[in-house]
Amino acid sequence: MIRSVRNTLPIAALVAAGALGPASAGAQEPANRPLELGIDAAAVFGLGDESSMNISLPAGRMRVGFFNATRQWSIEPALGLNVRKTEGTDAVTTYDLEVGALYHFNPSAATMTSPDMSTVYLRPFVGVTGFSGGDTDDSEVSLGTGLGIKLPFRRDLAWRLEANAGYGFDNEAFRLGVNAGLSFFPR
C-alpha cells in the first residue's frame, strides 16, 4: 500500500512531456510567452472505501502556467505543502504535487490581456499526494480533469473557478473537488 514518490514522479513527467510536445511544436518566439502565477483555495471530497475531506483556505496550493505560442495550451505545475510540528511529537508533512495541461477555448482571452474577456478551460491532470512523519509515509497517484473559467477583474488579475473530478489509485477513491483562486499575469 505504501508507495514511494520516487516511483510516481516519472508518470507525472511523462504526462507533462506529452502535453508540452504539442504545445511547443509551433512555438518560435519563447520571449513572447506569458506566465500565469496563481494561488488556489480548494475543497476535495473522496468517495470510496475510505471517504475523506480536505479543505484548504485561504490558499492550499500555488501554481505557475507556461503558455505555448498560440496561448491555446498551457502546462501548469502546482504545489501544496503543509508542515505541522507539535512539541514532543515528530513533524508531519503533507504535500500535493500536480501537473495539468490547460486547453483554453478562447485563447485570445487566456492571458487576460483585455479586462472584459473571460475564457473557459479544460484541465486534465496527474498528481501525487501524500504525507510523511512519525512512523508512517504514504503517497498516492491520481488522475483527473477539471472544467473552469477565468474571470478578469483587472488587466493583469483574474479570478479562477474550477470544478474537477479525479480518481486515486491507492485507496481506489473517486474524488470531487472545487478550486477558487486568483491568477496574476506579469507583463
11 pLDDT tier (thresholds 50, 70, 90):
very low
63 pLDDT tier (thresholds 50, 70, 90):
very high
Distance (Å, rounded) from C-alpha 102 to C-alpha 71?
10
Higher pLDDT, 34 or 79: 79
Domain contains 49: yes
Q: What is the mean pLDDT of the chain?
A: 82
64 pLDDT tier (thresholds 50, 70, 90):
very high
Would you state the pLDDT for residue 44? 87
Those residues whose C-beta lies under 8 Å from the C-beta of residue 107, and which sit 6 or more positions away, are 70, 71, 72, 119
Range of the domain at 178: 5-24+34-184
Average pLDDT estimate for 140-158: 93
Asked whether residue 16 carries a pLDDT value surpassing 80, the answer given is no
Q: Quick one: DSSP state of residue 109?
A: G
Higher pLDDT, 110 or 182: 182
Domain contains 29: no
| Grid cell digits, residue 61 | 496550493
* Cβ-contact 130, 94 below 8 angstroms: yes
Asked whether residue 103 carries a pLDDT value surpassing 60, the answer given is yes
Would you state the pLDDT for residue 75? 97
Residues in the chain: 187
Domain contains 42: yes
Would you state the pLDDT for residue 32? 66
Q: What is the total count of domains within the chain? A: 1
| Grid cell digits, residue 17 | 512531456
Beta strands in the chain (DSSP E): 35-47, 52-67, 73-84, 92-104, 119-133, 136-154, 157-168, 173-184
Which SS3 state, helix, strand or coil, does residue 173 take? strand
Would you state the pLDDT for residue 31? 54
First vs last C-alpha separation in the chain: 46
Would you state the pLDDT for residue 19? 43
Domain contains 133: yes
**Residue that has been written with the C-alpha cell 505560442 in this structure:** 69
Average pLDDT estimate for 134-154: 91
Asked whether residue 27 carries a pLDDT value surpassing 80, the answer given is no
CATH number at residue 135: 2.40.160.20
Average pLDDT estimate for 88-109: 91
Using CA atoms, how far residue 4 sits from 1, 8, 71, 83, 129, in Å, is 10, 7, 35, 19, 11
Asked whether residue 9 carries a pLDDT value surpassing 80, the answer given is no
| Grid cell digits, residue 107 | 485563447
- CA 129 from chain centre, in angstroms, equals 12
**153 strand-pairing partners:** none
Most confident range (mean pLDDT) of 49-53, 82-86, 173-177 is: 173-177
